């Protein structure tokens, strides 16, 4: 009886009403999903831009040492006699773009002579080698007049080393060393070299000969 009264007060919805409600629920769900989809598309798409720039060239400098060439001593045609000296000049040039410091090593080499007259003595054991800066701040001439009373830049001997290159002016080790010479870019320095044969040299050294090799090593001064 109560159920009959309830149905009379609140009648059951018709089939058409149920279908309409399902369509509303479906429509709401579809609209909600559509909105979520648009939101997702909107938040994941961004406008972007970029630009690349190219810098100028980064170029390194150069350390370039050159010399005037062969070391030619002004030995008389008849050869040296005890008490004589021979002289030679060398231009050291900085043809690079960076200032550098340089050092010089030397080595003497005794020259064999024909067997018929071969002496047993080595001339390198008698010679001394000295160097001077020629020109500004140094000696005025590369000869007896300019060097006899002048203090040498470097000096070695009597007895020159023949076993390998040996430090002479400065030191080729990296960094500033005592005696190293410095040249700015494009500068030139002239060195004077003097070889002396002492008056105490004996007959056994007649007709002997020695050559001297000089090696110049340069390194940058900036940051070093």
Residue 159 belongs to what domain range?
65-220
For residues 103 and 131, the answer to whether their CB atoms sit within 8 Å is no
Residue from 75, 88, 168, 157 nearest 124 by CA: 157
> For all residues of the chain together, what is the average pLDDT?
79
Query: Which residue has 């830049």 as its token pair?
Result: 153
**Domain match, 27 and 80 both:** no
What secondary structure letter does DSSP report for 204? G
Residue 60 inside a domain? The answer is no
**Domain match, 26 and 95 both:** no
- For residue 41, what is the enclosing H or E element? helix 15-44
Residue 209 inside a domain? The answer is yes
pLDDT at 29: 44
| Cα–Cα distance measured from residue 190 to residue 67, given in angstroms and rounded to the nearest whole number | 9
Does this model's pTM top 0.75? My answer is: no
pLDDT at 43: 54
Asked whether the CA dihedral 130, 135, 136, 140 is positive or negative, the reply is positive
Mean pLDDT of 201-222: 89
Q: Which residues contact residue 19 at a Cβ distance below 8 angstroms, ignoring those fewer than 6 apart?
A: none
In the chain, pLDDT over 90 holds for what percent of residues? 45
């Amino acid at each position: 009886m109560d159920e009959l009264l309830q149905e009379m007060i609140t009648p059951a919805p018709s089939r058409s009403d149920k279908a309409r409600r399902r369509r509303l629920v479906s429509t709401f769900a579809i609209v909600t999903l559509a909105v979520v989809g648009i939101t997702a598309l909107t938040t994941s798409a961004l406008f972007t831009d970029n630009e690349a720039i190219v810098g100028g060239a980064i170029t390194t400098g150069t350390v370039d040492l050159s010399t005037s060439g062969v070391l030619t001593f002004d030995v008389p045609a008849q050869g040296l006699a005890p008490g004589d000296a021979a002289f030679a000049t060398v231009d050291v040039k900085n043809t690079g773009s960076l200032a550098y410091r340089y050092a010089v090593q030397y080595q003497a080499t005794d020259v064999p002579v024909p067997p018929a007259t071969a002496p047993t003595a080595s001339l390198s054991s008698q010679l001394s080698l000295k160097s001077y800066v020629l020109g500004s701040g140094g000696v005025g001439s590369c000869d007896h007049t300019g060097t006899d009373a002048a203090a040498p830049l470097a000096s070695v001997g009597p007895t020159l080393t023949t076993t390998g290159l040996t430090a002479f002016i400065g030191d080729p080790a990296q960094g500033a060393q005592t005696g190293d010479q410095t040249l700015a870019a494009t500068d030139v320095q002239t060195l004077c070299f003097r070889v002396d044969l002492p008056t105490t040299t004996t007959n056994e050294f007649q007709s002997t000969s020695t050559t001297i090799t000089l090696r110049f090593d340069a390194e940058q001064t900036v940051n070093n």
